[in-house]
Chains A and B, each alone.
Chain A
């Protein structure tokens, strides 16, 4: 399905200063935005009647360390509208010094586990997350395995519970 140009136009209209770049040539429209208004843009995407992105398909991050360019991290949201049947990729840029981002769990419950996974894999802090615990890794795991500077052959000792009889 060809990308719908309305999506990016609406976004540009509403948040003209927050957009870093947009791309309409791929399989779905892409918008790279600044971090400051991240949550209000997501909320706008969900509520705006012409967009109605009621479905958060996927949430992940990319460590762009070896791709060059700044900032280092990008949190990627894949949105889908069940009623209007269109998609959007929204990227929020995060510099390495400040990895805090507002949680989207209040908008989509599906963000809950995906944010937890993203947090433990990349070290991104989702502020306001209801349950910021580790999900896939054990408690006490050090480092962020999906970052490019985490070596693939690093091993860690699994802590043994002390209350063993």
Chain B
């Protein structure tokens, strides 16, 4: 870590410490975040993070919504990969209900989760490079992300707030051209990755700005509660897709990239490699998507087919009850975690058997990384703080909830 000593300087030229605010609205803070840093020259002597500017009371709101009404709120958690949040929440509720969703829905969920991971990492690497002054990577990478956006739009009509999954399955099936389209996107993604990779991987300035900066060791990363790419960059091979597989992740052939030093460079490069691995998973998943429905036929959660609604009293009543009261989830509690792009996204849900969740707690992955940020930048230079922040990928939506 670069740091200068001021002890040897003559008395009259020694500097006073200065307090500097970075944020809440600063181009490098990626949302409404504020960092208070105490500077000794250009070296950070002390740092503290202040959050809460985007607190939307997600957890309180869910207690006053029906189970299905929570899904659109989850879009706004990590808005760079909303579909992964949708899947995380719905999977938790389904586990609590004891519902197994159809194979086709599982496979499509896996595909959209991996596409989300690609999208999230693209924006993270691109924005981190912009923070370091390298703009062209952003265009290359965002262009690829834009192509995926076009397909989420075809899938569910929205680009950012997708609201795609339902409890018990999916909002609707994919179209045949969707699948061909993703193959085209993956080709373009590959090109974008090669171009951006060429610009970054051996770039002297990029390496000097990121290597050996913001190091966090294996033990520290675990102690601070890091998950996802940031934990793996420190050398811990923990990935829920392998450790606790869901949606048949164990049947796919992919690798989990691991870093060695746990510095900013590793965190970004792990993400680069994860994009490639995710693309590999999507390619394999596209080869065989099982036929069948995308929604379970469990009438506790799924609307009956229109024929039954108009043709039988039971169907009509079923439809009305689901529309008016919503889903009822049996008494109980569950902690269900998925490997979201940023790390372990956990939903701890308590149900009292009513139409509303009794308590939903979201375990946001970047909350814990943000709490370690102050410690990570202490002793470094002020410019390094920006580099470290970019590599952590703090998404304020899930940080504040």
Given A58-B361, A58-B363, verify A152-B60 contact (CB < 8 Å): yes
Within A34-78, the residues touching B (CB, 8 Å) are: 54-58, 60, 62-63, 66-67, 76, 78
**Chain B: minimal CB distance from A41 (Å):** 19
Residue B64 at the chain A interface, CB threshold 8 Å: yes
Once the chains are docked, how many angstroms separate the CA of A121 from the CA of B238? 31
CB contacts (< 8 Å) of A1 on chain B: these are: 244
A sample of 22 cross-chain residue pairs with beta-carbon separation below 8 angstroms, ordered by A number, consists of A26-B332, A27-B334, A28-B335, A57-B344, A58-B348, A62-B359, A66-B358, A78-B346, A82-B238, A85-B243, A109-B371, A113-B367, A113-B368, A114-B367, A114-B368, A134-B52, A136-B55, A136-B400, A137-B55, A138-B52, A145-B57, A146-B59
**Chain B: minimal CB distance from A93 (Å):** 15
Residue B225 at the chain A interface, CB threshold 8 Å: yes
CB of A110 within 8 A of CB of B368, answer yes
Residue A112 at the chain B interface, CB threshold 8 Å: yes
Residue among B59, B60, B346 making CB contact with A57, cutoff 8 Å: B346
Residue A15 at the chain B interface, CB threshold 8 Å: no
**Chain A: minimal CB distance from B250 (Å):** 12
Task: Name the interface size band of chain B.
Answer: 35 or more
CB of A60 within 8 A of CB of B348, answer yes
Contact mask A126-149 → B, CB, 8 Å, 1/0? Answer: 000000001111100000011000
CB of A57 within 8 A of CB of B52, answer no
Contact mask B209-238 → A, CB, 8 Å, 1/0? Answer: 000000000001011110000000000101
Residue among A87, A108, A134, A138 making CB contact with B223, cutoff 8 Å: A108
Once the chains are docked, how many angstroms separate the CA of A67 from the CA of B63? 13
Q: Which residues of B contact A (CB under 8 A)?
A: 51-52, 55, 57, 59-61, 63-64, 95, 220, 222-225, 236, 238, 243-244, 332-337, 344, 346, 348, 350, 352, 358-359, 361, 363, 367-368, 370-372, 400
- Which one of B61, B224, B368 has the highest number of Cβ atoms from chain A below 10 Å of its Cβ? B368
Within A84-140, the residues touching B (CB, 8 Å) are: 85, 87, 89, 108-110, 112-114, 121, 134-138
CB contacts (< 8 Å) of A134 on chain B: these are: 52
Beyond A28-B335, A114-B368, 20 extra complex contacts between A and B, CB < 8 Å: A26-B332, A26-B334, A27-B95, A55-B225, A57-B225, A58-B335, A60-B348, A62-B359, A63-B359, A78-B346, A82-B238, A85-B243, A87-B335, A109-B223, A109-B225, A110-B371, A113-B368, A138-B52, A146-B60, A152-B61
CB contacts (< 8 Å) of B371 on chain A: these are: 109-110, 112-113
Once the chains are docked, how many angstroms separate the CA of A152 from the CA of B337? 28
**Chain B: minimal CB distance from A61 (Å):** 9
CB contacts (< 8 Å) of B244 on chain A: these are: 1
Once the chains are docked, how many angstroms separate the CA of A150 from the CA of B63? 12
CB of B225 within 8 A of CB of A66, answer no
Once the chains are docked, how many angstroms separate the CA of A114 from the CA of B361? 12
Once the chains are docked, how many angstroms separate the CA of A121 from the CA of B363? 15
Residue among A54, A56, A76, A113 making CB contact with B348, cutoff 8 Å: A76
